[in-house]
Structure 1
């Protein structure tokens, strides 16, 4: 107790700005842009650094999702509580995803993206990246039956090996339900073992995140060096419009949701600013999932709600992906001079509501499910995918960022609706983010051993 009192009396000094991960990643992004513009060949060759970092992160994502969902179900204590949180989150996901698709389509028409490019621009860009786009398009042919079947694994280990997030979620939910059905004396040692394994994975992520600046530098240098200024200029309006659309969605749509549920959006963004910077640098929302599983309980959501909602949102609540798909199909229709009818627009929305849910389950993420949408539409030229492939890297930064912010808001909203929210913690996080982080770490360290490793402690 004396050590605890001493710790509370003498809080740790704040680290210098230059030692913060967010600052280091920001500097790495700037250096990556400089290298990519001045030495494009060198920049293009640095792709390996970004790929290594993302591969290391992805090795822990599936196990962490499994562990946090199982822990969240076990901590809930009964199926009724799990069902209430799950149903509330699902309804929220569907409503906001629909709004995001409509918003993306409306923004594309408002900004008139792709208009005037004509067949010349399309054919020029189609030569570059056509092979890549064709490969991605070939992966996108899937029927509803195939998509639904793919959600359910045929092999426990295979779902983890292939990184199929939806399959891992299914396994975690069933395993958590099975664990909850055991008697407390039989359940306790299993929970303790999972907590120990979870702690080891969290430390694993801690070590990998030290490489984030290096990975970001390589990824950004490659994006700039490989695409060149010609591509950036040719599609600058699309990229600029997309970023303005994403900013508008966060400020207007998510801002309105936060206003309705009395959430301080600016405070939340400030609380997760380091994670946002990492996502912008890596263009991958997976890179910050472990850290968000740790931090969000510090903003007031219960560990059980975070453990259930956040991983599920990574598969079902992809606001940025929905906006990208809406703007992408309009861009291609304008580029090829195709007028989309209201009937076709309605069909596209139905397709996008389905395919957007598969972004976390296929290799290639958002671009692959966008290819699935274009292919399924039947009236948007598939070869037009190459037109967007050159700048997808730049747009994916905004996509991933919007997905992360949207899921954080979804988690807090669900927690509030289900009575799983502590306003005092949110007030502290809004007032002093670093103090809130220290508090949640202290809460973890003082918790009983069986509590450790649960969702709140998915530390990065």
Structure 2
């Protein structure tokens, strides 16, 4: 059976019409935004609303999609043992890779004295421009803060972890029902899930406009003086991100038998959206749709990806040590190896809260700086001035890290169809049809390397 009758998702390239593809339109929007921000910064600074509208519309479908996908992943496990196995492996993987990110960030910041020439900017900071922390973020506060006080409230709080917790409990409860009732509930949720994917697909047509407004605002408001003064930090941070992205992710994917360049090409729209908006959430709907089409079982995707958006923040793990040592160098605060190791211990906890507080990575970073008690908070506005440029790299690593996690955990649990993955990434076959058509839902352990569909054109 072939899937030629299935309409391609937004952003899929059609033969002979590459200029109409969504990824190309997003790139054009980004280029125009940069140009406008450099030529007419005053006008560009007013276009933030375009990016905000796009992200707000997209976020309206994020929480329901995460809930439905995670519950579906648990339901497809068929039993708590299988779901628990995937979940435990995912959490172990998250912690290992995040810790590697922290270590890479610390090593890079020690090799190059970031911030040594930035002390002259200390007097230029405007503290009013920094997003304020909305409360304490210690470990106890983190745990209590992610617990929803109502089912509906989890979807309106804006905190993804609350949705994840509700979905986990709901999915486990679903497994306790009789088999016939499970099938009826699961079938209804499949239909609703497809409806939300349709909603997101419509919103995605606005992605070029959203990317244009977000980039124009970023360039128009930062100012050339500040960009010049902190250019070294930005460039070096992007270099660190590139090394981690292609070195760590590339190595992990190679062990899983996947070529990172082909995977990036397959997810070029999602990577482009994250780079342009600086938001990991902008890529989530596409990832939830494309990974099952690639050959990763919906069970693995549904369990790993939504959970990873809350616990697997590899980009945040890179950002925090680099910028912390930048402040230490800029203000002449000595930080030896013991202090840095203690810093890593704090960040291993605080970095997990980046998805649960207003302001994301930067607010958690600010809370960590405050928690150390030895770094000046006066330097935070300086870093916030270029945060919007650095956040794009951070968000991209966070997003792609969850893709890698789903593939690796899927391989370890027999939830990846190797032949389909190889064929799709090599361009020898079209992606599998969307859920609800002729797609196999899961790959049973021991059969992951056996093709489940006819992948010939």
Q: Does TM, normalized by the shorter one, top 0.5?
A: yes
1:180-212 C-alpha deviation (Å, 9 max, x unpaired): 110022222222222222111111101100000
Q: How does 1:215-364 map to 2 (within 5 A)?
A: 215-364=210-359
Query: Which one of the candidate residues 189, 195, 198 is aligned to 1:200?
Result: 195
Q: Which runs of 4+ in 1 moved over 6 A?
A: none
8 Å Cα contact 2:258-2:422 kept in structure 1: no
Contact 1:32–1:217 (Cα < 8 Å) also in 2: yes
Q: Is the 8 A contact 1:295 1:440 kept in 2?
A: no
CA RMSD of aligned residues (A): 1.9
2:438 paired residue among 443, 446, 456: 446
Q: Is the 8 A contact 2:190 2:436 kept in 1?
A: no
The count of corresponding residues between Structure 1 and Structure 2 is 435
1:371 alignment partner in structure 2:
366
Corresponding residue for residue 205 of structure 2: 210
Query: Would the aligned equivalents of 1:141 and 1:375 in 2 still touch at CA under 8 Å?
Result: no
8 Å Cα contact 1:305/1:415 also seen in 2:
yes
2:232 & 2:143 partners in 1: Cα distance? 37
Question: How far off its partner does 1:436 sit?
Answer: 3.3
- Deviations along 1:100-133, one digit per CA (max 9) or x if unpaired, are 0010111122232101222x31111x13xx1132
Higher mean displacement: 87-96 or 147-156: 147-156
Q: CA deviation at 1:6?
A: 8.2
Deviation sequence 1:265-287 (CA, Å, 0-9, x none): 22211211121111111111100
Aligned 8 A contact 1:140 1:368 in 2: no
Is the CA contact (8 Å cut-off) linking 1:267 and 1:429 kept in structure 2? no
Distance 1:105 1:179, change over 3 A: same
Taking a change above 3 Å as real, the CA distance of residues 222 and 142 of structure 1, as seen in their structure-2 partners, is same
Shift, 1:318, TM fit: 0.8
- State the match for 1:453 in structure 2: none
Runs of at least 5 residues in structure 1 that lack an aligned partner in the other structure: 450-460
Partner of 1:452: none
> In 2, are the aligned partners of 1:140 and 1:371 still within 8 Å (CA)?
no
The TM-score with structure 1 as length reference comes to 0.91
What's 1:121 paired with? 121
Asked whether the equivalents of residues 3 and 433 of structure 2 are also in contact (C-alpha less than 8 Å), the reply is no
How far apart in 1 are the matches of 2:292 and 2:103? 31
Offset at residue 446 of structure 1 (A): 2.8
Say if 2:58 is the partner of 1:57. yes
TM-score, length of structure 2 as denominator length:
0.92
Shift of 1:248: 0.5
- CA deviation profile, 1:14-65 (whole Å, cap 9, x unmatched): 2511111111010111100111111111000001000111111111111111
Q: Quote the Cα distance in structure 2 between the aligned partners of 1:93 and 1:428.
A: 28
**Cα distance in structure 1, aligned partners of 2:366 and 2:301:** 31
Relative contact order (alpha carbons < 8 A, sep ≥ 6): 1 or 2 greater? 1
Q: Which has the higher helix share?
A: 1
